């Protein structure tokens, strides 16, 4: 597993900080809680997609592309980071966006990530909920080709083996930091969506036999379907980096208890977690991913799943730009 074999563009601020959350730890009166600040990857407000994009953009350039395309929800953090990376590298960017939320208000449709997409100069293409997004992206790519462009298609969330390399590398970075700090992690927990983050982390940690169990808190799918998707990508990624078979099925674990009514729909637990982390730690979580994952972490501590004496690592995957898109819901939570 030599990641230096793969082309990479450098624009992330790495390594991201590893911090102990003392006030949250004291408040919950359980395990010691740590946070890995992948919200601080630097590019255009940062987030977890930036690590993936270092490899995806390098692949695009190696293949001679002059235009990148990707898909996502209106408030996709991945779309925003792709637009930022494209601007940085002088590539054109087309974002194929799905209106996944039906009660969308002005803030959701105009502020947050979508405002930044336009700031970075990306071209936006809107499609209704339920559209076959891969097909819609292909259609836009065909139009780019017809006009003489050379498109490179990035799947939703940047989740394929090339993108997942960013999180294989995260595992190496994390273990180096843990060694440096002399901390043994008992569990790692983070929000899982399109699966590249969890797949990459699991390949890295299992490839190195780090013995750190990983728990993905889902934001959309059921536990079963999420685990299936992560496992498939982990296998493909392990093959790709040359550690075929490194990931046993039992290393892929998800929990879908904190999704609520659906993708991007606020839950009371998410709102409480976002408010708590802001007030106790000055950490800004996001409403769609890290807020729900932190709700899960807090609940699992309260239920005694994670206990005193353990070191639990929360990976902050970013997404704060979406806070502004959820202004009405957050306003209500702040006033409670």
Ligand X SMILES: *Cc1c(COP(=O)(O)O)cnc(C)c1O
Candidates 90-98, 113-121, 196-204, 300-308; binding stretch for ligand X (CB under 6 A): 196-204
Whole-angstrom Cα Rg for the chain: 19
249 vs 98: CA distance, rounded Å: 32
Residue 44 touches ligand X, criterion: CB under 6 A: no
By CB under 6 A, which span of 61-69, 204-212, 270-278, 317-325 interacts with ligand X?
Answer: 317-325
Please pick, from the candidates 191, 210, 234, 265, the single residue that binds ligand X as defined by CB under 6 A. Answer: 191
Note whether 319 binds ligand X by CB under 6 A: yes
| CB neighbourhood size of 4 (10 A) | 6
Residue 193 near ligand X by CB under 6 A: yes
At closest approach, how far in Å is the CB of 163 from ligand X? 8
Report the residue from 196, 264, 269, 296 that binds ligand X according to the rule CB under 6 A.
196
The minimum distance between CB 230 and ligand X, in angstroms, equals: 8
Is the CB of residue 28 less than 8 Å from the CB of residue 59? no
192 binds ligand X (CB under 6 A): yes
**Closest Cα to residue 193, out of 111, 63, 286?**
286
Known active-site residue 76: yes
Q: Tokens at residue 33, please?
A: 């809680």
Q: How far apart are CA 90 and CA 334, in angstroms?
A: 40
Cα–Cα distances in angstroms (integers) from residue 194 to residues 17, 69, 318, in the given order: 24, 16, 15
105/183 Cα distance (integer angstroms): 45
**Closest approach of ligand X to the CB of residue 137, in Å:** 16
Nearer to ligand X among residue 30 and residue 200 (C-beta): 200
Residue 70 sits in the site that holds ligand X (CB under 6 A)? no
Q: What is the footprint of ligand X within residues 85-144 (CB under 6 A)? A: none
Bond from prior residue into 15 cis (ω within 30 degrees of 0): yes
317 contacts ligand X (rule: CB under 6 A): yes
Pair 164, 196: CB distance under 8 Å: yes
Task: Write down how long the chain is.
Answer: 336
Q: Among the options 76, 195, 256, 290, which is catalytic?
A: 76
Q: Which is nearer to ligand X, 30 or 229 (CB)?
A: 229
Shortest reach from residue 308's CB to ligand X, in Å: 28
Per-residue tokens: 251: 């290393």
Q: Which residues bind ligand X (CB under 6 A)?
A: 47-48, 77-78, 157, 159, 191-198, 286, 289-290, 317-319
Please give the positions annotated as active site.
Answer: 76
């Amino acid at each position: 597993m030599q990641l230096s074999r793969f082309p990479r563009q450098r624009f992330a601020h790495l390594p991201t900080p590893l911090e102990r959350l003392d006030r949250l730890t004291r408040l919950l009166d359980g395990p010691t809680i740590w946070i890995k600040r992948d919200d601080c990857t630097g590019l255009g407000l940062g987030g977890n997609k930036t690590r993936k994009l270092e490899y995806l953009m390098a692949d695009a350039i190696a293949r001679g592309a002059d235009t990148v395309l990707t898909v996502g929800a209106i408030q996709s953090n991945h779309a925003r980071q792709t637009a930022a990376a494209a601007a940085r590298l002088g590539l054109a960017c087309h974002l194929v966006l799905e209106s996944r939320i039906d009660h969308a208000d002005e803030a959701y449709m105009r502020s947050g990530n979508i405002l930044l997409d336009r700031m970075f100069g990306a071209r936006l293409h809107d499609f209704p909920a339920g559209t076959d997004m891969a097909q819609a992206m292909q259609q836009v790519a065909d139009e780019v080709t017809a006009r003489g462009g050379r498109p490179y298609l990035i799947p939703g969330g940047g989740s394929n083996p090339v993108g997942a390399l960013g999180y294989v590398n995260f595992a190496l970075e994390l273990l180096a930091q843990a060694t440096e700090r002399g901390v043994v992690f008992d569990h790692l927990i983070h929000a899982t969506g399109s699966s590249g983050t969890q797949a990459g982390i699991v390949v890295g940690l299992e490839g190195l036999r780090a013995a750190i169990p990983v728990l993905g808190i889902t934001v959309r799918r059921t536990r079963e379907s999420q685990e299936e998707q992560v496992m498939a990508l982990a296998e493909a990624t392990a093959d790709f980096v040359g550690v075929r078979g490194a990931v046993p099925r039992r290393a892929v674990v998800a929990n879908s208890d904190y999704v609520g009514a659906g993708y991007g729909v606020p839950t009371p637990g998410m709102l409480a977690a976002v408010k708590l982390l802001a007030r106790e730690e000055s950490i800004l979580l996001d409403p769609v991913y890290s807020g729900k994952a932190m709700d899960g972490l807090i609940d699992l501590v309260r239920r005694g799943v994670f206990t005193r004496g353990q070191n639990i690592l929360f990976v902050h995957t970013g997404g704060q730009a979406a806070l502004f898109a959820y202004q009405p819901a957050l306003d209500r939570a702040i006033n409670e």
